[in-house]
Chains A and B, each alone.
Chain A
Amino acid sequence: MSKRLLQSTLREIRNSLGRYIAIMAIIAIGVGFFAGLKNTQPDMLATIKHFYEKTNFHDYRLVSTIGFDKESVDAIAQLPECNAACGSIVLDALVTLEEGRGIVMKVHSLTETVDALELVAGRYPQNPNECVLDSYVFSDEMLGQTIVLAENNEEELLEKFVYDSFTVVGMVTSPVYIQYERGNTPLGRGVVDAYMLIPEDAFDMDYYTEIDVKLNQNFELYDDAYKNYVDEYEETYKSAALTLAQERTDRFNDEIREAKQEVEDARTQIEDAKAQIEEAKKQIEELEKTRAELEEAAAKLQPYLDMGYPLPPEQMAVFTALEQLPETPELPEIPELPEEAKEVDELEYFEEPQAYVLGRDTNIGYVCFESDSGIVDGIANVFPIFFFAVAALVCVTTMNRMVEEQRTQIGVLKALGYGDGAILFKYLFYAGSAALIGCVGGYCLGTWMFPKAIWYAYGMMYNAGPLVFVFSWKLAVISLVVAMLCSMGITFLSCRVQLTERAAMLMRPKAPKAGKRIFLEYIPFLWNHIGFLKKVSFRNIFRYKRRFFMMVLGISGCTALLIAGFGIKDSIAGVANMQYDRVAIYDMGITTKDEVENEFPLLQEMGYTRDDYFVFAENSMDLVTEEGSKSLYVATLTEDKFDQFYSLHTLKQEPIAFPKKGEAVVNCRMAEQFHLSVGDQVILRTDALQEIPVTISGINENFVYNYVYIAEETYVDTLGKAPQRKNIYLKAHEGEDVREVSASILESEDVATVSVNEETRERINTMMVSMNIIVYIVIACAAALAFVVLYNLTNINITERIREIATIKVLGFFQRETCAYVFRENLILAVIGAFVGLPLGKLLHAFIMANIRVDLITFAVYVKPISYIFAFLFTVVFAALVNFSMGGKLDRVNMTESLKSVD
């Protein structure tokens, strides 16, 4: 390539900077969107993984019903694959903040190796009466303040602490709480508000409530390899934990037994003593009796003696006997059993202990993060393709136009003897350099901005430190290849066509595109009623087919993106409201510890009647179909008043009959996933691998979790016994605070868990706030897309018609009229595009929603009508804005252009 040709190319770029930048911008948007969104989930996962590894997040939490001896930790540390084991104490307590507010706090003991913390501000405690605090809930202003254990805590709980107040010295983030939820509690209004950590010495306890274990290996988050790894060792740890708990229980029970034995022995001694005393008492009575008789006799004889009568010796013997009688002995006190003995009597032996191994999959943050980050990936799979398609189209039109404009120049270059390669190079360089800059810029900006913005959005729910950026070579290479194909590949094709023509041909002007009648003109009724200038617009619209399609595609893409953006929000917001407004109409679900016969005494005591709650059995089973199986919940129902608590209806809102014997109702998500329809046969398989064959009698609307509903007869018929009824749906009375109700229910020993629907709804609504930011990003991108497409097309439109525009200006069209003349067709195209975008948006949205697979929640594929209207209006407004901003360009069209020859 000659120096002058290069110079000409560089000047070309400078002179047509608008066009150059348009190519750059569209490639940057395409690449930025693709790489940015694609990188977001890996970045988010890397961030959490990094955080977990840095803080040594536990793989197992061992808990037992009796706690663990402090020595037990060493035993656990000896188990295979154990990297570190840490005993810790976790208690719920009511605390009072300096500002006077009372909240429920989860109080942990500080651990060093497992579940370490990240210090956000301040320092770690140096004295046992210092604490570090939840940095997600509290701001740094809390440093130096005092947290007081509330007096209304139970005495038993307060005794477990050495101090009754703690000074805040640091703010921390714990891997146990990466998400905003802090868990449930029987205290207060039922929800833990925050957590704090204090030194172990601050607890007046000689045992741990749990042992946290970190295994040797680290894996990718949510990887199957990790699941297999932790599954492999779970049994080992469980049995070890159980053994330790058993030993502890046995030791306690032995101690109790000894104490009881001692009391028993003491009691026997006391009984013996009592018997002896009784004996002695009898003897004493005898003695007293004899003494009385003798004294009586002596009393009778005494006067004779006094008078000096001699008495016979046998009578004198009375006196002797009296004198010889022993003194009445003092009886000893019977010792009473000490008070403590009663307590010992009341001591109950510890029940057989239970021990559990709770993996990461029981940590709310860990579990929710998988599904929440999955949403991003679902979006990332669809949107970028769209952007690339439009980018390619913009490049096609722009480069085609450019090559066409420069026919003559190409001809001259050919005539001067430049080879095809050199000429081609000029245009490839033009498009390629624009694309390269756009690609690099878009990649950098996209992979920085999108993850950052989305992570910021997730920051409202997650707290795990700053985002970790990962660089993916694969993604970078794909971006570059696609960008280059879109720009240079297309330029190459456009140039080929021109280069095959002979130089002489090229130097002759190409005939302007001929005017043509359009179909509308054959409908005189319509055509004759259209204003004259509008006729021009209509003809123009249909005159340039490629421009028409590109414009419609670009604009419809913009509308579709907006609809999808709004729709994602609608669908997710819709889930919570639809689920709790029309499906799960009960207030809270309660799981009891023991089987409930008919009435649940606790609820009766609280003033609820049998009409306010519904008792059933819920079991985890596998749904086995021809296309695979899936673990879900099976609700076994006995009564048909079920519909007052839970509405069984189809997606079309038609009621479904209560399942009869051998029938089952499955929720829509399962039906969709396994392509099930009414009348299909499926099998429900229990944990014990027993099978219940059922026929599907209905497919119901249900968005949260996956359920199958069967009648109890079905269960009894195949398995021979009824399932344990441990689940209750409760409807609180009108005007009651469901949270307070749930807190007081949770306080009962008979209740295992309570989940309040209102809380789930709020949780989803919190998620919506962060979804808003994603929606804003989508809107911004759609606007950028619309702008680039419209700008580019308008630009082409103006340069192609520059003589026409100059002419009408000479004819005396005012600026407003000139704008209307040129832009009317743009607006008409924008409106057509927006209309086409409506169904396209619906499809795109459905496609994205199908890609967003979150295990536990089924999203309603649903776009509100208002969202369609907004998307449509936004598009038209974008188009109008672009046209408005292009007005200046029209103004600058020089009228002397009209005098120039056609070139």
Chain B
Amino acid sequence: MSFVSFEHVGKTYHTGEVDIKALNDVNFSVEQGEFCIIVGASGAGKTTILNILGGMDTVSEGKVFLDGNEISSYKKKQLTGYRRYDVGFVFQFYNLVQNLTAKENVELAAQICKNPLPAEEVLKEVGLSERMNNFPSQLSGGEQQRVAIARALAKNPKILLCDEPTGALDYVTGKAVLKLLQDTCRKKGKTVIVITHNQALTAMADRIITVKSGTITDMRKNASIVDVEDIDW
């Protein structure tokens, strides 16, 4: 069985009298240690997939497995535990707690885990050893995203989920952040799933999943993986 697998997943939102089908018969799988990119236009349903995989939302039908556990059957409290111990999340807008320093933001996540990595070490790995005691407002966007990645990594999760991690960053900084994510995957063997609307980024992924109108239109292994530095968009 694959590390991550979606089996006939469907998701319907009820808003008033209108039912909106966000996902319809979604099937895909990701192997452990892979760098996977889910790509699609806005509104295609990729964020819904991420929400479900991240334990922030539930499925309407179908099953979702991570590392052999059926997370689609989890109750609310189990889902919280799942987010807490198994998932690392990187947001588009970093979502750092403004009145905590970089190090404290990392600790915020680390302290609720079973086997956290030392905050200082992780920050060093993302290249922020000098700026540990700065508040988010004193950091640049790229630095803030690195703190966010460090926060996700410090939890020592089974999977790292990234929602448009470069969406709010400029080209150069964005590249650096992607590089960091790719390195994390390669060196630490972490499974990383990145969501983006940017088709160009798919070149760096091990696995590319294309979402369109709530279904998977294409899932393939990347035969020619390109290093981040060599991608242009």
Interfacial residues, chain A to chain B (CB-CB below 8 A): 511-516, 532-533, 535-536, 539-540, 543, 803-804, 806-815, 817, 895-896, 898-902
CB of B92 closer than 8 Å to a CB of A: yes
Provide 24 A-B residue pairs closer than 8 Å at the C-beta atoms, listed in order of the A residue.
Answer: A514-B137, A514-B138, A515-B100, A536-B97, A536-B104, A543-B99, A807-B91, A807-B97, A809-B80, A810-B54, A811-B83, A811-B89, A812-B80, A812-B81, A812-B82, A812-B155, A814-B80, A817-B112, A895-B51, A895-B56, A896-B51, A899-B47, A900-B93, A902-B93
User: Could you tell me if B108 and A811 are in contact, using CB atoms closer than 8 angstroms?
Assistant: yes
Among A513, A532, A898, A901, contact of B98 (Cβ-Cβ < 8 Å): A513
Assembly CA distance A807 to B98 (angstroms): 12
- On chain B, the residues within 8 Å of A901 by CB distance are 92-93, 168
How many B residues touch A, CB cutoff 8 Å? 37
Give the distance to chain A from B40, nearest Cβ to Cβ, in Å: 15
- On chain A, the residues within 8 Å of B91 by CB distance are 807, 810, 898-899
CB of B135 closer than 8 Å to a CB of A: yes
User: Could you tell me if B83 and A810 are in contact, using CB atoms closer than 8 angstroms?
Assistant: yes
Interface residues of B in 75-89 (CB under 8 A from A): 77, 80-85, 87, 89
Contact A899 to B99, CB < 8 A, known contacts A511-B137, A812-B84, A812-B87:
no
CB of B143 closer than 8 Å to a CB of A: no
Contact A812 to B92, CB < 8 A, known contacts A514-B98, A540-B99:
no
Give the distance to chain B from A195, nearest Cβ to Cβ, in Å: 71
Q: How many A-B residue pairs have CB under 8 A?
A: 97
- On chain B, the residues within 8 Å of A540 by CB distance are 99
Among A516, A809, A812, contact of B99 (Cβ-Cβ < 8 Å): A516
Contact A512 to B98, CB < 8 A, known contacts A810-B89, A896-B56, A901-B93:
yes
Which of the listed residues A512, A536, A807, A812 has the most CB atoms from chain B within 10 Å of its own CB? Answer: A812
Assembly CA distance A828 to B155 (angstroms): 29
Interfacial residues, chain B to chain A (CB-CB below 8 A): 47, 51, 54, 56-57, 77, 80-85, 87, 89, 91-93, 95, 97-101, 104, 107-109, 111-112, 135-138, 151, 155, 163, 168
A898-B91, A899-B91, A900-B93 are known contacts; what are 17 more A-B pairs with Cβ within 8 Å? A512-B137, A514-B137, A514-B138, A515-B135, A532-B111, A536-B108, A806-B95, A810-B95, A812-B81, A812-B87, A812-B112, A813-B112, A814-B80, A814-B84, A817-B112, A899-B51, A902-B93
Give the distance to chain A from B226, nearest Cβ to Cβ, in Å: 28
Assembly CA distance A840 to B186 (angstroms): 63
User: Could you tell me if A812 and B56 are in contact, using CB atoms closer than 8 angstroms?
Assistant: no
Assembly CA distance A813 to B87 (angstroms): 12
User: Could you tell me if B112 and A539 are in contact, using CB atoms closer than 8 angstroms?
Assistant: no
Assembly CA distance A513 to B97 (angstroms): 11
- On chain B, the residues within 8 Å of A812 by CB distance are 80-85, 87, 112, 155
Assembly CA distance A899 to B163 (angstroms): 8
Among B56, B80, B108, contact of A815 (Cβ-Cβ < 8 Å): B80
Contact A539 to B93, CB < 8 A, known contacts A515-B136, A810-B83, A899-B47:
no
Q: What is the chain B residue whose CB lies nearest that of A537?
A: B99
Give the distance to chain B from A408, nearest Cβ to Cβ, in Å: 16
By Cβ-Cβ distance, the 6 closest A-B pairs, closest first, are A812-B84, A515-B99, A515-B135, A514-B137, A812-B83, A807-B95
Assembly CA distance A810 to B97 (angstroms): 13
Give the distance to chain A from B211, nearest Cβ to Cβ, in Å: 16
Give the distance to chain B from A660, nearest Cβ to Cβ, in Å: 71
Q: What is the chain A residue whose CB lies nearest that of B83?
A: A812
Contact A813 to B80, CB < 8 A, known contacts A511-B137, A898-B91, A899-B91:
yes
User: Could you tell me if A899 and B108 are in contact, using CB atoms closer than 8 angstroms?
Assistant: no
- On chain B, the residues within 8 Å of A511 by CB distance are 137
Chain A interface secondary structure, helix, strand, loop or mixed?
helix
Assembly CA distance A900 to B98 (angstroms): 16
Give the distance to chain B from A438, nearest Cβ to Cβ, in Å: 31
Q: What is the chain B residue whose CB lies nearest that of A543?
A: B99
- On chain A, the residues within 8 Å of B163 by CB distance are 899
Assembly CA distance A539 to B108 (angstroms): 14
Q: What is the chain A residue whose CB lies nearest that of B138?
A: A514
Assembly CA distance A514 to B137 (angstroms): 6
- On chain A, the residues within 8 Å of B57 by CB distance are 895-896
- On chain A, the residues within 8 Å of B151 by CB distance are 811
User: Could you tell me if B100 and A539 are in contact, using CB atoms closer than 8 angstroms?
Assistant: yes
Among A515, A811, A899, contact of B92 (Cβ-Cβ < 8 Å): A899
Give the distance to chain A from B63, nearest Cβ to Cβ, in Å: 21
- On chain B, the residues within 8 Å of A515 by CB distance are 97-101, 135-137
User: Could you tell me if B89 and A539 are in contact, using CB atoms closer than 8 angstroms?
Assistant: no
Give the distance to chain A from B225, nearest Cβ to Cβ, in Å: 28
- On chain A, the residues within 8 Å of B135 by CB distance are 514-516
Assembly CA distance A896 to B11 (angstroms): 15
Give the distance to chain B from A800, nearest Cβ to Cβ, in Å: 11
Assembly CA distance A532 to B105 (angstroms): 10
Contact A811 to B84, CB < 8 A, known contacts A536-B97, A899-B47:
yes
Give the distance to chain B from A60, nearest Cβ to Cβ, in Å: 76
Assembly CA distance A601 to B80 (angstroms): 92
Give the distance to chain B from A156, nearest Cβ to Cβ, in Å: 90
- On chain B, the residues within 8 Å of A543 by CB distance are 99
Give the distance to chain A from B171, nearest Cβ to Cβ, in Å: 19
- On chain A, the residues within 8 Å of B84 by CB distance are 811-814
Which of the listed residues A539, A804, A806, A807 has the most CB atoms from chain B within 10 Å of its own CB? Answer: A807
Assembly CA distance A898 to B80 (angstroms): 15
Q: What is the chain A residue whose CB lies nearest that of B95?
A: A807
Among A532, A539, A804, contact of B107 (Cβ-Cβ < 8 Å): A532
Among B56, B83, B95, B104, contact of A532 (Cβ-Cβ < 8 Å): B104
- On chain A, the residues within 8 Å of B101 by CB distance are 515
- On chain B, the residues within 8 Å of A814 by CB distance are 77, 80-81, 84
- On chain B, the residues within 8 Å of A809 by CB distance are 80, 83
Give the distance to chain B from A3, nearest Cβ to Cβ, in Å: 23
Q: What is the chain A residue whose CB lies nearest that of B79?
A: A812
Assembly CA distance A803 to B109 (angstroms): 15
Give the distance to chain B from A786, nearest Cβ to Cβ, in Å: 26
Give the distance to chain A from B144, nearest Cβ to Cβ, in Å: 12
- On chain A, the residues within 8 Å of B109 by CB distance are 811
Q: What is the chain B residue whose CB lies nearest that of A535?
A: B104
Among A536, A803, A815, contact of B100 (Cβ-Cβ < 8 Å): A536
Assembly CA distance A708 to B105 (angstroms): 73
Assembly CA distance A543 to B98 (angstroms): 10
Q: What is the chain B residue whose CB lies nearest that of A818?
A: B80
Give the distance to chain B from A545, nearest Cβ to Cβ, in Å: 13
- On chain B, the residues within 8 Å of A536 by CB distance are 97, 99-100, 104, 108
- On chain B, the residues within 8 Å of A533 by CB distance are 111
Give the distance to chain B from A442, nearest Cβ to Cβ, in Å: 36
- On chain A, the residues within 8 Å of B97 by CB distance are 515, 536, 804, 807-808
Give the distance to chain B from A856, nearest Cβ to Cβ, in Å: 59
Assembly CA distance A512 to B139 (angstroms): 13
- On chain A, the residues within 8 Å of B99 by CB distance are 515-516, 536, 539-540, 543
Give the distance to chain A from B115, nearest Cβ to Cβ, in Å: 14
Assembly CA distance A154 to B177 (angstroms): 111
- On chain B, the residues within 8 Å of A813 by CB distance are 80, 84, 112
- On chain A, the residues within 8 Å of B138 by CB distance are 514
Q: What is the chain B residue whose CB lies nearest that of A814?
A: B80
- On chain B, the residues within 8 Å of A902 by CB distance are 93
Assembly CA distance A803 to B87 (angstroms): 19
Q: What is the chain A residue whose CB lies nearest that of B94?
A: A807
Give the distance to chain A from B212, nearest Cβ to Cβ, in Å: 20
Assembly CA distance A813 to B76 (angstroms): 12
- On chain B, the residues within 8 Å of A898 by CB distance are 91, 95
- On chain A, the residues within 8 Å of B89 by CB distance are 810-811
Assembly CA distance A808 to B112 (angstroms): 11
Assembly CA distance A512 to B155 (angstroms): 26
Assembly CA distance A543 to B100 (angstroms): 11
- On chain B, the residues within 8 Å of A804 by CB distance are 95, 97-98
Q: What is the chain A residue whose CB lies nearest that of B81?
A: A812
Assembly CA distance A808 to B57 (angstroms): 15
Q: What is the chain A residue whose CB lies nearest that of B151?
A: A811
Give the distance to chain A from B112, nearest Cβ to Cβ, in Å: 6
